[in-house]
Structure 1
Amino acid sequence: MALLKAVTIASLLATGSAAWAVDTLPDAVAAPGETAVLSVHAEGLQVYECKPVTDGKLAWSFREPIATLIADGRTIGRHYAGPNWEHVDGSAITGRTTGTAPGVAPSDIPWLKLAVISRRGEGVLTGISTVQRINTAGGELSGACDKAGALRSAPYSADYVFLRKD
């Protein structure tokens, strides 16, 4: 299964259409009635911070993503805390999670559906209403943390599909 997924994604990356590789999305991240405007691949890090939790224990807490957005082999933007996505044309959006589905492997961050809550600039992201994060690989952090405030990151990749309402 993992090998089949890797081969499929690799072949679709070569054509620049990896985010449309999924035939059926989990209901939690599907966006019926919306049209894909842009599909990009992201390579980056999920950054975690060591924070106190109950009973004075420490645990890793997600802090922020840092990723490069790639389309047709070129960098076309970036993804960072907010969550925010910025395109090289000057348009940018901020989202809020509205749905989640587990990644394929335990080490994969979840697939997400995010509603756009703010927009900046003019360009390809201007009319976007929903963002899907799919085909995730990596990004989950495991292991103990022993110093509050310590930072650690886990490499990840994902495909982001930017959609607009019809």
Structure 2
Amino acid sequence: MLLSRRYLIPGGSCKERYKMLKLNRRIPRALKLGLLTCSSVLVFSMTGCGSGTEAPVLERPQVSAELSIPQDFELSLIADGVGVQIYECTDTNGTLGWTLRAPRADLLVNGEKVGNHFGGVDKAGFDPGAYWQSVDDENCWVRANANTIVKEANPGSIPLLRLEAAAVSGNCTFSDVAFIQRLETTGGVAPTEACALGDKKEIDYTAEYYFYTTP
């Protein structure tokens, strides 16, 4: 039986892994309950979760060397990002122009929301920066390091990114993340029209986010 790379979400608590598997309704019920195996490895077991049971490794994307993640980090989650890039009109040395303020997007696995992506600047109690947060626990998140971002141009859309975690919180899939890739981006580029200081504009975008956990 061939499995989609989106079927399995290793890592996190037993409850969280079970929820992730339930999100994909195309997986046979027996597989979800751990009654089937894939490549001779037990996929999931309500009794074995967290006690030595392994899940198949998710498929890494093909990227340039600059965007690649060291092999000893495990790909633990692939999620679609659907939302907006928020731009604000700012004054740079007397010239007005659009500056990226923050993202705001839903993180989806097979159409089901599993997380939020946002900028701390727009959310009380959070330091500035880009966050990926569990939909079940607002105290469980990872924040990117703004000083180590690697960018790769994607003409007509926002760039592809390789990000490192600066801080994590809680106990969920996101709290173990060390690296993030933003790939397969569409839209989201900054406006080009003239603006007045303080204006804000939201531009639709989509992306695919790959999350890697600490070995």
TM-score by length of 1: 0.81
Q: Which has the higher strand share?
A: 1
Q: Which of 1 and 2 has higher RCO (CA within 8 Å, sep 6+)?
A: 1
2:101 corresponds, among 63, 74, 79, to 63
Counterpart-to-counterpart distance in 1, 2:66 and 2:167: 22
In the alignment, which residue of structure 1 is the partner of 2:132?
A: 85
In the alignment, which residue of structure 2 is the partner of 1:36?
A: 75
- CA deviations 1:35-94 (Å, max 9, x no partner) are 20000001000000011123x221100000000000022011100012000012422110
Q: Percent identical across equivalent pairs? A: 25
In the alignment, which residue of structure 2 is the partner of 1:7?
A: none
CA shift, 1:20, in A, is 5.1
In the alignment, which residue of structure 1 is the partner of 2:26?
A: none
TM-score by length of 2: 0.64
2:190 corresponds, among 141, 149, 160, to 141
**1:102–1:109 CA contact under 8 A, matched in 2:** yes
**2:5–2:59 CA contact under 8 A, matched in 1:** no
Counterpart-to-counterpart distance in 2, 1:120 and 1:32: 23
Counterpart-to-counterpart distance in 2, 1:16 and 1:46: 27
Q: How many residues align?
A: 147
Matched, 1:161 2:210: yes
In the alignment, which residue of structure 1 is the partner of 2:45?
A: none
Counterpart-to-counterpart distance in 2, 1:119 and 1:44: 23
The alignment partner of 1:126 has SS state of helix
Unpaired runs of at least 5, structure 1: 1-14
Counterpart-to-counterpart distance in 2, 1:153 and 1:26: 29
**2:90–2:96 CA contact under 8 A, matched in 1:** yes
Larger radius of gyration: 2
CA shift, 1:21, in A, is 7.8
2:145 corresponds, among 84, 92, 96, to 96
State the superposition RMSD in angstroms: 1.8
**1:89–1:122 CA contact under 8 A, matched in 2:** no
Counterpart-to-counterpart distance in 2, 1:114 and 1:133: 8
Counterpart-to-counterpart distance in 2, 1:89 and 1:123: 9
Unpaired runs of at least 5, structure 2: 7-57, 120-128
